[in-house]
């Protein structure tokens, strides 16, 4: 039994390290051919439906209260409609590895939100982390070598909107009344959040023609994001939260951007500059200080 659990833990860590790190690549591939909110909305709606079917077959799909449904909709809006939606929209203008590095600053944003909303003091190690994070962000975005085009700052701005939405959402979800089964709860968030993405897509006038002309690479990318990015990795994440300490799970924050950088360079010929490497080291060091201070506080 212990050996089986150890194997599941190892596989779960590989899932949140590799799969989540690789989603930036597959989102970048899809956004080259399809409108961002359209494909992202379809991805999450289909993933949520699959979760409901699995839960129904297993006899786990129980009733949901009006309050839980409302909270699921709000969290789905913050995490998926705004959070993921802005990221995939921004990927039209900036590289996948660059995006992943920006997103690695999420703990920095969250700790600032906790200070202003919950009045939680920022510990000394966290202050060091915040300063390092700001230095890393400056070095990352202030590079002449990375000329993504005239809309570069639109992409960067979209990613930061996503970060603020995730930061606020992470505080909301910790207090919200949600379905006890986290797998089912994620299904509601995906279906509702993805549905709102489709509404945004319709409002923006995104063309649906591309869906009927998807090449094999795009179809495999969509299938990968639905099955592995949305269902497998999220299930692995929740499994780890129940069996290992949160600070160990948080190590994905350091691995995901490295995986994204390497895959973007290898598959899409994205540029990795010396300044990006230095910025990555500084950023991830700052994230380490923030995560380690939170672990000590707990």
* pLDDT surpasses 80 at 91: yes
Beta strands in 24-63 (DSSP E): none
Question: Average of pLDDT values for 80-90?
Answer: 96
Q: What is the pLDDT of residue 217?
A: 93
- Across the chain, mean pLDDT equals 90
Where along the chain do its domains lie? 6-297
Q: Check: CB of residue 240 under 8 Å from CB of residue 13.
A: yes
C-beta contacts of 111-116 below 8 A and 24+ residues apart = 111/290, 111/294, 112/167, 113/164, 113/167, 113/168, 113/170, 113/171, 114/171
Q: Higher-confidence residue: 106 or 220?
A: 220
In sign, the C-alpha dihedral spanning 47, 15, 175, 177 is positive
Question: Average of pLDDT values for 98-103?
Answer: 93
Q: What is the pLDDT of residue 1?
A: 63
pLDDT digits (tens, 9 = 90+) for 180-228: 888 898 899 999 999 999 999 999 999 998 888 889 999 999 999 999 9
Q: What is the pLDDT of residue 55?
A: 94
Q: Give percent above pLDDT 70 in the chain.
A: 97
Q: Which of 182, 168, 196 is nearest to 231 (CA)?
A: 182
First-residue to last-residue Cα distance in the chain: 29
pLDDT digits (tens, 9 = 90+) for 241-252: 778 876 678 788
Question: Average of pLDDT values for 104-110?
Answer: 86
Q: What is the pLDDT of residue 205?
A: 95
pLDDT digits (tens, 9 = 90+) for 273-293: 999 999 999 999 998 888 877
Which residues, including other chains, have CB under 8 Å from residue 276's CB and lie 6 or more apart?
97, 98, 101, 140, 143, 146, 261
- Rounded to two decimals, the pTM is 0.90
Q: What is the pLDDT of residue 21?
A: 94
Q: Which of 24, 4, 294 is nearest to 159 (CA)?
A: 24
For residue 298, name the pLDDT band (cuts at 50, 70, 90).
low
């Amino acid at each position: 039994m212990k050996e089986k659990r150890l194997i599941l833990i190892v596989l779960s860590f590989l899932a949140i390290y590799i799969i989540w790190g690789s989603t930036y690549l597959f989102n970048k591939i899809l956004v080259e051919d399809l409108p961002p909110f359209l494909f992202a909305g379809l991805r999450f709606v289909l993933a949520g439906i699959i979760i409901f079917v699995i839960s129904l077959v297993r006899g786990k799909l129980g009733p949901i209260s009006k309050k839980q449904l409302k909270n699921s909709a709000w969290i789905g809006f913050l995490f998926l409609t705004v959070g993921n939606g802005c990221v995939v929209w921004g990927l039209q203008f900036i590289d996948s590895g660059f995006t992943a590095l920006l997103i690695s600053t999420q703990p920095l944003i969250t700790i600032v939100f906790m200070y202003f909303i919950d009045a939680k003091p920022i510990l000394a190690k966290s202050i060091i982390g915040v300063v390092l994070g700001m230095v890393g962000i400056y070095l990352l975005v202030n590079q002449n070598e990375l000329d993504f085009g005239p809309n570069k700052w639109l992409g960067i701005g979209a990613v930061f909107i996503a970060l603020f939405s995730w930061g606020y959402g992470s505080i909301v979800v910790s207090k919200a009344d949600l379905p006890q089964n986290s797998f089912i709860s994620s299904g509601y968030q995906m279906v509702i959040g993805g549905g709102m993405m489709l509404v945004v897509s319709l409002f923006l006038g995104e063309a649906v023609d591309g869906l009927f002309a998807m090449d094999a690479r795009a179809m495999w990318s969509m299938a990968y994001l639905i099955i592995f990015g949305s269902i497998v990795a999220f299930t692995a994440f929740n499994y780890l939260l129940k069996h290992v300490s949160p600070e160990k799970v948080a190590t994905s924050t350091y691995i995901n951007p490295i995986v994204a950088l390497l895959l973007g360079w290898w598959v899409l010929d994205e540029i990795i500059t010396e300044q990006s490497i230095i910025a990555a080291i500084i950023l991830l060091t700052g994230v380490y200080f923030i995560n380690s201070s939170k672990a000590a506080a707990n």
